[in-house]
């Protein structure tokens, strides 16, 4: 049995292994035979026993580029730490006994080609281990699935997804072997296996001919029809022999079968649903979101594959796998801390085991080059005891693996060209986006002077700039005189930072070069310890580098040790905003430090004038016209008034969420954009996922921020989220047809928001900093200020986006023509109303809200329609929300739930009448509305429902009806409104209150659950976002969710390409607007009236589309007035 050494075997805790006891003792330098995945039979290896080392806590996950440049501690520091016993491993008696039995251990010699080859073989990707560790649970699930199909002689399908390098293919090979062995033991017919790697297919449909050709049953089929048709005929006919074999089809790399309509994938999985199918299909794919694209349609066709997710390897798992591969070697090649560093960095970057093996092999090659290079220059000397792969070798390998190709180009440049690139990095940190060659030459001369390097002449300097232009690093404009050519930077500033830091070229600079410069003196085999953090200063407004980038405060960023956080911001243009004073920065830093001591989430903000900026313009600065799939939001408000509607005090804009949560049924996808990680899991209640994430937060709010939403979760909750709570009475299986396959929940975590205060005419630009405990408070503050300044510069762009002006030519107070196309015909809806009345008369329910979905096609863009909706139907909750799969354009008058300081509010809004043409007529209509017994009875019923929802989660005795049957006036109508409040129970959160409230009685009925059961029977399609909720949940847990009424849904996957494109008036795209409206049905309801109510509500929203089309699509009529008219 192989074993590893105890803690006393090495001062550096190296991994030590011995050969299996049951084998002969071969020559110590003989390499182990390489075993490939293609081998027909896997060699049975001995059980591996590994001691558990108490490794240090893994670092916080960061971007791959940061992984490449972490400064290791010196070996002296490691020895001191080891002497204190910080990494001592517990001694396991069985391991110790096995270790004591080993008489001979081969000494590691990196100069020995055979030993080096053996270690490389062990770390090779194609070397298949005898067991696949860390995947036992996934293999067990798949094997049980295959066994169940074979025992029942029943076809089935299984879908496996996961990131690359997570052991999916190797695990399936092990499952195949175990299934064949199990079939022999149980006396079942031999399992026939067909393995197809989809990357080898010429076209996607070739998979059917591949299956037909490799299957023994398929070879007997003759016919002139297509391979797919032959397979369908084969599995649609009863087999003559009772001992017909089951066929196991493993389709690896299934991502390559994706077509526009996913037809090949659908046909492949549907083979398992044929009447006499005997095939077991296992599809393996790397794309995490592939299931979201093709599984919904399969489920609608009664094909429900089992989904197994292979999650990315964690630090502990990667470390264990590396140990398992190395433990069989009779010598120590890696320092344990080096392996730990590799595991930690790779898990943070991708969790790809193949990447980890590649990094280890690369580190081994670096050691080999180092050792052989030294032996060529010096006589052969004994091998040092610690001549193994250490942390510095691993750091170099990580840098080589994760760095950008541009880094190699910059590092290969001659010294003077590197100095020019360094000069450019400094030059373009100011407000200018380009400079002349003469200006760049001045900076070049300064760096050469401070570094005591002889500079090149101006002619040679221009030639070097031309060379850098040809290599794609600089961009030169045309000019008659070379000195007048404009120079701009094409590459990422982060790549320059990293390349010059790792370069062997030594460049010294003075303080005037790039602000507090230090020398860049880093050699390949010797690392200086990291310098102390630079003095704190506000970063100036920068041109932010594209995509992933690093912020260089000064040349110490190029020469220093610390990498700053990765920016996800797109390129921005600088703004001439003044830099805060030193006193202001010190004061804000002091507040930041105080807040950071109390919590781990601290806001930074800048307050700017908003008299030149509107929320519409700010949103367009953050989200471009053609980026309609980017999650983002714009919230605005209009408060009800006596005479007319008044604009609300606050508007909020946000874009580029740090984390996204998308739930479809019970499958939740979490996209962490900051860590570059995507996970998929199946949970009972997806709404628990954001709640658990929030539990880790300790937000510290600053008093100066406005009393509005200032950052947190933003998104929508569909009507169907009630099925997470009422699992038995309202399961997803009983829901109507899901013809759009929209997410049930979509939330984005917004660290960057802009809050407009329309009263004080200013805007708060806010960035929330997540305190990294592994870094100093000053570093966290500096990084946060850089992100904040970047956000400010984007809304203070010198060239703001041009917005279409639009010409209002319609009477916005009038309804447009009714919409003809609906999910239900007029007669079908009226029949549903009559059936609902029968249930009311039978005493099943008191009231029910039946809805139907209308459809309107338009060439107007959703954002243009939102601009029009603000005019047509201003409301307290206006929203433009871009989510995954759809865009919501809403003007809701009603809140679903509000929770502030643990005080929850429910505000039923029911009973409607039009506005009068004068204040006097308004009062007359108000009296008529309050005297309408039907509408008042309906409203009181909904108030009781609201009291019930609030009472479920409130302290006893705290529920009260604060306002009862008040009249609220809006632009076109008046509503009866009541307010119910309560105090949240101590052990509950606002999320619990939201679960209790969704959906409110005004969109379902009473009793609520029974009414929703009938809605599932009477409505023909799922409601989706309609009658759910949208809004924000602050970092501190406060919640303000609006009811999704008067909401248009634009599915992004139903956007049709036409002869048009967005930016040209004659070239646009066609959109489908879904407008859903409902009517409350009671005992004396008239079906014709309810149908008319639905049509009127939908037509009111469609008026916004009419206005957008007439304003933004049609050219304005330009007429020249006659002179006599002017004189008149």
Q: Would you tell me how many other CB atoms lie within 10 Å of the CB of residue 641?
A: 12
Nearest CA to 440 among 456, 455, 421? 421
User: Among 606, 746, 1026, 1078, which one carries the catalytic annotation?
Assistant: 1026
- Residue 24, classed as helix, strand or coil, is coil
- Give the whole-angstrom CA distance, residue 506 versus residue 543: 27
Is 375 a known active-site residue? Answer: no
- Give the whole-angstrom CA distance, residue 1064 versus residue 220: 59
Residues 6+ apart with CB under 8 A from 889: 862, 865, 866, 869, 879, 880, 1047, 1048, 1050, 1104
- DSSP secondary structure code for residue 1080 in this structure: E
CB 637 within 8 A of CB 729: no
User: Token pair for residue 1109?
Assistant: 């089309």
- Give the whole-angstrom CA distance, residue 537 versus residue 553: 8
Nearest CA to 717 among 881, 852, 841? 881
Q: What are phi and psi of 862, to 5 degrees?
A: -55, -35
Nearest CA to 440 among 466, 415, 414? 466
Is 1046 a known active-site residue? Answer: yes
Residues 6+ apart with CB under 8 A from 475: 469, 487, 488, 489, 490
CB 44 within 8 A of CB 130: yes
Buried b (16+ CB within 10 A) or exposed e, 233-269: ebbeeeeeeeeebbbbbbbbbbbbbbeeebebbbbbb
In 301-352, where does DSSP find H-type helix? Answer: 315-326, 336-349
* SS3 track for 136-150: HHHHHHHHHHHHHHH
User: Among 65, 278, 975, 1074, which one carries the catalytic annotation?
Assistant: 975
Is 975 a known active-site residue? Answer: yes
User: Among 654, 816, 1029, 1080, which one carries the catalytic annotation?
Assistant: 1080
User: Among 1002, 1005, 1023, 1103, which one carries the catalytic annotation?
Assistant: 1002
User: Among 393, 794, 1046, 1068, which one carries the catalytic annotation?
Assistant: 1046
- Residue 300, classed as helix, strand or coil, is helix
CB 44 within 8 A of CB 542: no
- Give the whole-angstrom CA distance, residue 192 versus residue 248: 6
* SS3 track for 759-801: CCCEEEEEEEEECCCCCCHHHHHHHHHHHHHHHHHHHCCCCCC
Is 1002 a known active-site residue? Answer: yes
Q: Would you tell me how many other CB atoms lie within 10 Å of the CB of residue 1053?
A: 11
Nearest CA to 235 among 297, 155, 152, 157? 155
Cis peptide before 999 (omega within 30 of 0): yes
- Give the whole-angstrom CA distance, residue 691 versus residue 761: 35
Nearest CA to 397 among 370, 434, 427, 436? 370
* SS3 track for 566-599: CCCCCCCCCCCCCCCCHHHHHHHHHHHHHHHHHC
CB 180 within 8 A of CB 42: no
Residues 6+ apart with CB under 8 A from 1081: 833, 836, 837, 840, 847, 848, 849, 850, 1005, 1090
Nearest CA to 174 among 129, 216, 211, 215? 129
Dihedral (C-alpha) 712, 718, 722, 724: value to the nearest 10 degrees?
-70
Q: Which residues are catalytic?
A: 975, 1002, 1026, 1046, 1080
């Amino acid at each position: 049995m192989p074993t590893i050494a105890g803690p006393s075997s090495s001062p550096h805790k190296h991994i030590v292994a011995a050969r299996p006891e049951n084998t002969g003792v071969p020559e110590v330098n003989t390499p182990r035979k390489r075993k490939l995945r293609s081998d027909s039979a896997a060699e049975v290896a001995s059980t591996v026993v590994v001691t558990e080392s108490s490794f240090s806590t893994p670092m916080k996950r960061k971007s791959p580029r940061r992984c490449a440049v972490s400064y290791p501690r010196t070996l002296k520091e490691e020895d001191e730490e080891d002497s204190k016993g910080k990494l001592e491993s517990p001694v396991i008696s069985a391991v110790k006994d096995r270790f004591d039995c080993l008489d001979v251990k081969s000494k590691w010699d990196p100069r020995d080609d055979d030993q080096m080859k053996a270690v490389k073989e062990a770390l090779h990707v194609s070397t298949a281990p005898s067991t696949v560790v860390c995947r036992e649970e996934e293999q067990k699930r798949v094997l049980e699935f295959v066994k169940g199909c074979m025992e029942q002689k029943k076809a089935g399908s299984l879908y496996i997804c996961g990131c690359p390098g997570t052991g999916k293919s190797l695990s399936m090979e092990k499952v195949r072997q175990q299934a064949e062995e199990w079939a022999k033991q149980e006396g079942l017919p031999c399992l026939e296996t067909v393995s197809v790697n989809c990357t080898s297919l010429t076209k996607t449909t070739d998979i059917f001919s591949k299956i037909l050709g490799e299957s023994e049953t398929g070879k007997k089929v003759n016919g002139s029809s297509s391979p797919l048709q032959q397979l369908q005929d084969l599995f649609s006919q009863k087999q003559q022999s009772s001992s017909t074999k089951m066929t196991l089809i493993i389709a690896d790399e299934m991502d390559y079968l994706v077509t526009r309509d996913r037809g090949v994938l659908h046909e492949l999985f549907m083979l398992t649903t044929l009447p006499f199918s005997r095939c077991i299909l296992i599809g393996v794919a790397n794309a995490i979101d592939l299931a979201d694209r093709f599984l919904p349609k399969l489920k609608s066709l009664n094909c429900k594959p089992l989904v197994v997710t292979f999650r990315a390897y964690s630090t502990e798992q990667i470390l264990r796998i590396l140990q398992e591969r190395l433990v069989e070697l009779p010598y120590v090649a890696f320092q344990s801390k080096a392996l730990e560093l590799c595991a930690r960095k790779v898990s943070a970057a991708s969790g790809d085991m193949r990447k980890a093996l590649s990094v280890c092999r690369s580190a081994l090659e670096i050691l080999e080059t180092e050792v052989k290079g030294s032996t060529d220059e010096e006589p052969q000397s004994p091998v040092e005891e610690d001549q193994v792969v250490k942390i510095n070798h691993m750091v170099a390998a990580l840098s080589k693996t994760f760095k950008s190709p541009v880094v190699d180009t910059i590092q290969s440049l001659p010294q003077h060209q590197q100095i020019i690139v360094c000069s450019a990095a400094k030059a373009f940190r100011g407000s200018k986006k380009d400079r002349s060659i003469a200006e760049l030459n001045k900076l070049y001369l300064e760096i050469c002077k401070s570094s005591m390097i002889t500079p090149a002449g101006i002619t040679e300097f221009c030639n070097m700039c031309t060379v850098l232009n040809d290599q794609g690093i600089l961009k030169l404009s045309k000019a008659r005189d070379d000195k007048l050519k404009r120079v701009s930077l094409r590459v990422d500033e982060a790549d320059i930072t990293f390349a010059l830091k790792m370069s062997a070229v030594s460049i010294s600079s003075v303080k005037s070069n790039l602000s507090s410069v230090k020398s860049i003196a880093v050699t390949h085999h010797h690392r200086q310890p990291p310098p102390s953090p630079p003095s704190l200063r506000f970063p100036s407004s920068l041109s932010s580098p594209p995509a992933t980038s690093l912020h260089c405060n000064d040349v110490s960023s190029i020469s220093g040790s610390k990498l700053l956080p990765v920016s996800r911001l797109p390129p921005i243009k600088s703004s001439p905003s003044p830099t805060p004073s030193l006193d202001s920065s010190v004061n804000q830093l002091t507040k930041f430090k105080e807040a950071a001591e109390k919590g781990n989430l601290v806001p930074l903000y800048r307050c700017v004038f908003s008299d030149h900026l509107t929320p519409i313009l700010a949103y367009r600065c953050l989200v471009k016209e053609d980026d309609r799939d980017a999650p983002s939001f714009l919230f605005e408000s209009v408060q009800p008034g006596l005479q007319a509607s008044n604009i609300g005090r606050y508007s909020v804009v946000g874009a580029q969420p740090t984390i996204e949560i998308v739930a479809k049924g019970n499958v939740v996808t979490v996209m962490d954009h900051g860590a570059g990680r995507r996970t998929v899991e199946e949970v009972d209640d997806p709404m628990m996922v954001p709640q658990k994430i929030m539990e880790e937060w300790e937000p510290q709010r600053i008093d100066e921020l406005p009393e509005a939403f200032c950052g947190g979760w933003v998104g929508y909750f569909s009507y169907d989220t009630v099925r997470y709570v009422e699992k038995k009475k309202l399961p997803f299986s009983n829901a109507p047809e899901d013809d759009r396959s929209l997410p049930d929940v979509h939330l984005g975590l917004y660290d960057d928001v802009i809050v407009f205060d329309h009263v004080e005419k200013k805007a708060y630009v806010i960035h929330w900093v997540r305190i990294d405990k592994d870094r100093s408070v000053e570093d966290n503050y500096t990084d946060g200020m850089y992100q904040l300044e970047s956000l400010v510069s984007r809304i203070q762009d010198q060239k703001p986006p041009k917005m279409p002006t639009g010409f209002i030519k319609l009477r916005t107070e009038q309804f447009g023509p009714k919409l003809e196309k609906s999910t239900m015909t007029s007669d079908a809806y009226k029949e549903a109303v009559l059936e609902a009345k029968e249930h009311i008369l039978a005493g099943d329910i008191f009231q029910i809200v039946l809805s139907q979905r209308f459809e309107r096609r338009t060439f107007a863009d959703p954002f243009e329609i939102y601009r029009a909706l603000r005019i047509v139907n201003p409301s307290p909750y206006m929203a433009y929300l871009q989510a995954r799969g759809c865009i919501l354009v809403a003007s809701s008058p009603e809140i679903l739930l509000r929770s502030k300081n643990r005080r929850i509010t429910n505000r039923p809004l029911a009973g409607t009448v039009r506005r009068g043409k004068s204040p006097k007529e308004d009062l007359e209509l108000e009296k008529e509305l309050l005297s309408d017994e039907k509408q008042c009875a309906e409203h009181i019923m909904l108030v009781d429902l609201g009291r019930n929802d609030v009472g479920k989660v409130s302290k006893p005795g705290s529920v009260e009806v604060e306002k009862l049957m008040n009249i609220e006036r809006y632009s076109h109508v008046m509503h009866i409104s009541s307010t119910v409040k309560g105090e949240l129970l101590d052990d509950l959160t606002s999320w619990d209150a939201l679960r209790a409230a969704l959906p409110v009685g005004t969109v379902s009925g009473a009793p609520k659950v029974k009414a929703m059961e009938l809605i599932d029977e009477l409505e023909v399609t799922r409601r989706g976002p309609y009658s759910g909720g949208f809004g924000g949940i602050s970092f501190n847990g406060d919640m303000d969710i609006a009811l999704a009424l008067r909401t248009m849904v634009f599915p992004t996957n139903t956007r049709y390409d036409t002869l048009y494109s967005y930016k040209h008036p004659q070239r646009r795209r066609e959109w489908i607007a879904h407008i859903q409206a409902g009517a409350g049905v009671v005992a004396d309801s008239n079906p014709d009236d309810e149908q008319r109510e639905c049509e009127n509500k939908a037509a009111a929203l469609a008026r916004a589309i009419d206005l957008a089309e007439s304003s933004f699509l049609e050219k304005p009529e330009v007429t020249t007035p006659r002179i006599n008219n002017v004189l008149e």
